[in-house]
């Protein structure tokens, strides 16, 4: 059994805070179609097949997809396989999403002329900022990238690909309540799983 030092039933490897008693809110491995009933798409073509959540619209534009639950303050872990190639594309997710007012995003992007970056985006009513750190991994079709967002340490966005580990950190506003939304821009993507932990404080 994996070690669980603080005894909150979340193993050390997945525990966003060592000490506080956190709560596993959702794990979805995208194995069965029924598991995304009630999830809603703002745009894009989101379906389950081959044991992954796929967004299959490659044309330019932002695609969002969200489970129905509202969360207070969550640490999110996911991984995805990169789809369509080309510049000006991004894959990741946003949490704490409140329409027009607030979101905390964690993405990897490949911007034309700007290189590849891991991006931590914080938007709340009186604040909007993006911290970008050069992505030294690869962002090609078929590559798998893991992303972890942890609001216990600013809006920490950590991207991992094998031994490549890049972190971008931004700030967190007074409220982090809102939705989780999967996010792609100008690319297809296939998400392997999502793991959501509600933080104790």
Contact set with Ca ion (CB under 5 A): 4, 6, 8, 10, 15, 17, 22
Please give the sequence-ordered ranges of beta strands (E in DSSP) within 5-125, or none if there are none: 23-28, 40-43, 46-49, 52-55, 62-66, 70-71, 74-82, 89-98, 102-111, 115-124
CB closer to Ca ion out of 2 and 100: 2
Least Å from the CB of residue 94 to Ca ion: 23
Taking a C-beta distance cutoff of 8 angstroms, is the pair 13, 160 a contact? no
Cβ 13 to Ca ion shortest distance, Å? 9
Tally of CB atoms within 10 A around 130: 15
CB-nearer residue toward Ca ion: 17 or 107: 17
Least gap, CB of 178 to Ca ion (angstroms): 22
Question: Among residues 15 and 181, whose Cβ is nearest to Ca ion?
Answer: 15
Min dist CB 56 to Ca ion, Å, is 36
Is the CB of residue 199 less than 8 Å from the CB of residue 151? yes
Question: Closest CB to Ca ion belongs to which residue?
Answer: 15
> Helix, strand, or coil here: 116?
strand
In whole angstroms, give the CA distance from residue 66 to residue 20.
27
In the complex, the smallest distance separating the C-beta of residue 191 from Ca ion, rounded to whole angstroms, is: 24
* Smaller CB separation from Ca ion, 24 or 98: 24
Q: Which is nearer to Ca ion, 158 or 181 (CB)?
A: 158
Q: How far apart are CA 151 and CA 138, in angstroms?
A: 26
């Amino acid at each position: 059994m994996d070690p669980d030092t603080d005894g909150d039933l979340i193993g050390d490897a997945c525990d966003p805070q060592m000490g506080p008693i956190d709560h596993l809110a959702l794990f979805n491995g995208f194995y069965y179609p029924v598991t995304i009933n009630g999830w809603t798409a703002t745009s894009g073509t989101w379906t389950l097949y081959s044991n992954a959540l796929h967004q299959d619209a490659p044309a330019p534009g932002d695609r969002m997809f969200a489970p129905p639950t509202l969360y207070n303050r969550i640490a999110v872990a996911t991984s995805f396989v990169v789809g369509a190639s080309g510049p000006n594309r991004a894959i990741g997710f946003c949490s704490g999403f409140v329409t027009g007012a607030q979101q905390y995003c964690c993405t990897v992007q490949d911007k034309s002329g700007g290189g590849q970056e891991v991006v931590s985006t914080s938007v709340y009513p009186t604040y909007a900022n993006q911290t970008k750190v050069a992505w030294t991994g690869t962002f090609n079709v078929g590559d798998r990238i893991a992303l972890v967002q942890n609001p216990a340490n600013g809006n920490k966005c950590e991207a991992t690909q094998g031994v490549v580990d890049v972190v971008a950190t931004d700030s967190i506003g007074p409220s982090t309540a809102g939705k989780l939304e999967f996010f792609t821009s100008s690319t297809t993507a296939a998400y392997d799983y999502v793991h959501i932990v509600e933080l104790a404080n």
